[in-house]
Amino acid sequence: MFNFDEGRYLSIQTGAVDVVPALRALVAEKLASGCDNAIFAGSGGAGLLMGPAAELIESHSRFPARVIRPAELMTVGSPLLGPSSLVVVPSRSGTTAESVAVTKYAQAAGAFVVALVGHGDTPVADSADQTFVNFAADDTSSESFYLQSLGLSLSVLAARGDWPEAQAALAGLASVPQALLAVKRAAEARAEAIARVIAEHDYHIITGAGSSWAEAYYYGMCILEEMQWIRTRPVHAADFFHGTLELVEQGVSVLVLTNEDPTRPLLDRVEAFARRYSEHVLVLDPADFPMPGVPAETRVLLSPVILACVLERVDAYLEEITGHPLTTRRYYNQVQY
């Protein structure tokens, strides 16, 4: 595969799955001692990647689980935050200013803070009540964060007995890293062509729903905008027909990140409409990619992981085609703001 180290990738995603048993033990302990809500407080892209985990809990349980942006949480507060809160702070670098600050803010409210970081010996790692370190770089962190947060949410559901499939889904995570390599290989044949389609347009409407919405938002904001300076309009498929549809016409690119969960009909509707009025509709469907050895109970939860896995292959070609390395920034970590 182009510009790709299979051994490195497998090691990182296996590391993410290896964190899950300890997360499960921690969740069981905290719930037994009275924890009654979870707050996922990640900054920027890391925070967006927590969306599917929070939604999984909310869709199967009455246990409150929310994604709250650190800057917003520290500005307006939350009635959920208190001594019975489990606050999850993901940070690849472990140095993001808002993540450092929200860790201390949550602890001051009496909450127990769990950090998921890509680097130990960093401010977030050192200040959290419990830290899980799994090295990841920009090209591998999405799947790593998705898998760790999925493991945590499944642990909540299993400990509470809210969802009978949670136990089997947790067990199935062990087979995911190797299966993701199979996805990478299957995606390689299409990746360069998809990258060329993306590079041909300086503006994209990008949509998702359910478990794929986080990846649509993340890919638009953190990859195409931040790392490629390509303008995007991320819009949830449920909102597409309440405004964004008026921007669809010939020449407008629409990227549809579909999924394998009950919200798929929302995305099918967007695709059908967009194809009537634009010749530039690109659909990425996780169902197109086999995941050998992964049980159905786990597979149904993996749409955002598969999408992130495929899009990394696209990104490898995209930066080559555009001549714009994904590491090039004008402002991010370059100037004060």
Percent of the residues in the chain that have a pLDDT greater than 90, as a whole number? 98
Sheet holding 281-284, edge to edge: 231-236, 203-208, 253-257, 281-284
The per-residue pLDDT of the chain, averaged, comes to 97
* pTM beyond 0.95, yes or no: yes
pLDDT tens per residue across span 128-160: 999 999 999 999 999 999 999 999 999 999 999
- Terminal CA-to-CA distance of the chain, rounded, Å? 38
Q: Are both 6-163 and 190-322 of the same fold? A: yes
**pLDDT the model gives residue 139:** 94
pLDDT given for residue 41 in this prediction: 98
Query: What are the percentages of helix, strand and coil residues in the chain, rounded to 5?
Result: 55, 15, 30
| Lowest-pLDDT range of 165-174, 243-252, 327-336 | 327-336
Q: Express each pLDDT in 202-254 by its tens digit.
A: 999 999 999 999 999 999 999 999 999 999 999 999 999 999 999 999 999 99
| Contact in structure between 115 and 40 (CB atoms under 8 Å) | no
pLDDT in tens, 284-302: 999 999 999 999 999 999 9
Which one, of 130, 51, 126, 67, lies nearest residue 94 by Cα?
126
User: What are the structural domain ranges in the chain?
Assistant: 6-163, 190-322
Give the pLDDT band of residue 337 (cuts 50, 70, 90). Answer: confident
Is the confidence at residue 170, as pLDDT, over 90?
A: yes
Query: What is the fold, at CATH topology level, of the domain defined by 190-322?
Result: Rossmann fold (3.40.50)
Mean predicted confidence (pLDDT) in 82-96: 97
- The 10s digit of each residue's pLDDT in 20-46 is 999 999 999 999 999 999 999 999 999
Rounded Cα gap, residues 109 and 111, in angstroms: 6
pLDDT at 2: 96
Of 135, 152, 156, nearest to 89 by C-alpha is 152
Would you mind telling me the total number of residues written for the chain in this entry?
337
**Per-residue pLDDT reduced to its tens digit, 97-127:** 999 999 999 999 999 999 999 999 999 999 9
Q: Note whether 183 and 289 are within 8 A (CB).
A: yes
Q: Which region, left, alpha or beta, applies to residue 247 given φ > 0 means left and ψ of -120 to 50 means alpha?
A: alpha
Looking at residue 88, what DSSP letter applies?
E
In terms of DSSP bridges, do strands 130-133 and 253-257 run parallel, antiparallel, or are they unpaired? unpaired
CATH class of 6-163: alpha beta
Q: How far is CA 155 from the centre of its chain?
A: 18
Supply 269's token pair: 């509707």
Burial degree of 174 (CB within 10 A; 0-12, 13-18, 19+): middle
- Whether the CB-CB separation of 81 and 109 falls below 8 Å is answered with yes
pLDDT value of residue 333: 87
Instruction: Identify the pLDDT of residue 226.
Output: 97
